[in-house]
Chains A and B, each alone.
Chain A
Amino acid sequence: MAASGPPIGVLAELTHRCPLQCPYCSNPAKLLKADRELDTETWLDVFEQAADIGIMQVHISGGEPALRADLEEIVDGLAKRGTYSNLITAAVTLSEDRVGKLAERGLDHIQISLQGARPETTELIGRYKGGHEKKLAVARWARQAGLPLTINAPIHRHNIEEVSEFIELALSLDADRLEIANVQYLGWAYLNRSALMPERDQIARQIEIVEAAREKWRGILNIDFVAPDYFADFPKPCMGGWAFDAFTIAPDGKVLPCHAAQTITGLQFDNVTEHRLEDIWQNSSALNKFRGTDWMPEPCRSCERKTIDFGGCRCQAFAITGNAAATDPACIKSPDHGRMQAIAESMSTRPAGDFVYRRIGREPAGAKANAG
């Protein structure tokens, strides 16, 4: 099936390098070193091509995009085309001077991750000494520079009891948005499932807290909630449909339907160093593989929700069932739904295992089956 229309957004992963080692990182288990990254000119050209085919927003991510010395140039290039730029950052390496420069160059929005609402949690997860205080400082500099701020809080068993504190912290930082994002168990997070899985009643409490806070802080703080699939009845509309209006570019130029798609084996990804972006958007075999609804087997094919959730997440289907075309097991109609929930129950009620921390060049044992 050909592309249904022009794409709106790109997640641009400038690098896999990162000062943090979060065990749920959304990057692939096999991380790319700096020598595989696209150079400045290529990124700038890709963003020109992206604007030409209808891209309106670029989410600059990584790894840690601030480790690229050319970040200012890239923001500049986006601003000149009127493309909306969103910097998704761990923040610990940003200086006040650099935050100011990025704002001056036309950065539109900044999203800062917080691994914990308490310093000790942030350090436990990210393994970066003093990281929490640095993140708070960067958040304040960003607000002083006039940038709108989103705080992103990935949630799992080690910080799920801090949700109220995350809300207080986001308010005190003068954030516009807070993302309470339950970890998606793919890639590194899949490897660390048993160390990360929260308990069912913790999730119920978390949802109550978020719903009450949304009401209380309406018009003051917008709270986005990313639901935990392993305890859900229906899947999320992942990406709004595979290759529907957004895609990801990996540090080496590979164009992916989503940031986790390399966890699915057997897909062929096209590269911006070999093809025009427009050609890739229309003709890439990986993008066309699960586009639209024609690829769906039962129970998705005849389901009234097929254009609501698009069969859910292909990466999760592959991770749990070994078949990327299967119904996302988050769905109650999936034959694997009970098994996924049993996995979650079993993991969440056992003592947390040790983390496999994210490291470049140290692909962990057992990662191969789940790596690209």
Chain B
Amino acid sequence: MPTNRQRATVERGTVPYLPRHVRLKFSEIRNAWAVLAPERVLWPDEISLEILKRCNGKSTAAEIIADLCNDYNAPPSEVEKDVLDFLQEWRDEMLIGCEA
């Protein structure tokens, strides 16, 4: 095994954060938020952006889900899987970091 890295599995207790090399930046000329990452720029949709803004290195995935449910008046059953899937996908792309 030539690496110490391991693939992180996102769970309810995971604390996601934006690593130093991934930045949320508002583009005034486009009136849109961008995610700046190595060799790529992504344009998150509204719900992705709301998740990313909550990836603050303090809140757990479960807290982010609860917060979104509150703000969007949606039941956790509708939100939880989508948020965990999103965070896992973004973790696998190394666009977010995770503390277990």
Contacts and interface: CB of A to CB of B under 8 A. Distances in A.
Nearest to A222: B94
Given A148-B21, A220-B7, A56 B41 contact: yes
Interface stretch (A125-133, A168-176, A201-209, A336-344): A168-176
Contacts of B7: 218-220
Interface residues of B, number: 24
Contacts of A154: none
B74 interface: no
Interface string B17-30: 00111010101011
B36 A220 contact: no
B92 to A, nearest CB: 4
A150 interface: yes
Interface residues of A, number: 32
B39 A109 contact: yes
Contacts of B21: 108-109, 147-148
Interface of B: 2-8, 19-21, 23, 25, 27, 29-30, 34, 36, 38-39, 41, 91-94
- By Cβ-Cβ distance, the 10 closest A-B pairs, closest first, are A219-B7, A171-B3, A148-B21, A84-B36, A219-B92, A172-B2, A109-B38, A171-B2, A54-B29, A220-B5
19 contacts: A5-B30, A6-B30, A56-B27, A56-B36, A57-B36, A84-B25, A84-B36, A86-B38, A148-B20, A168-B2, A174-B4, A176-B38, A177-B39, A219-B92, A219-B94, A220-B3, A220-B7, A221-B5, A222-B94
Interface of A: 5-6, 8-9, 53-54, 56-57, 59, 82, 84, 86, 108-109, 111, 146-148, 150, 168-169, 171-172, 174, 176-177, 218-222, 224
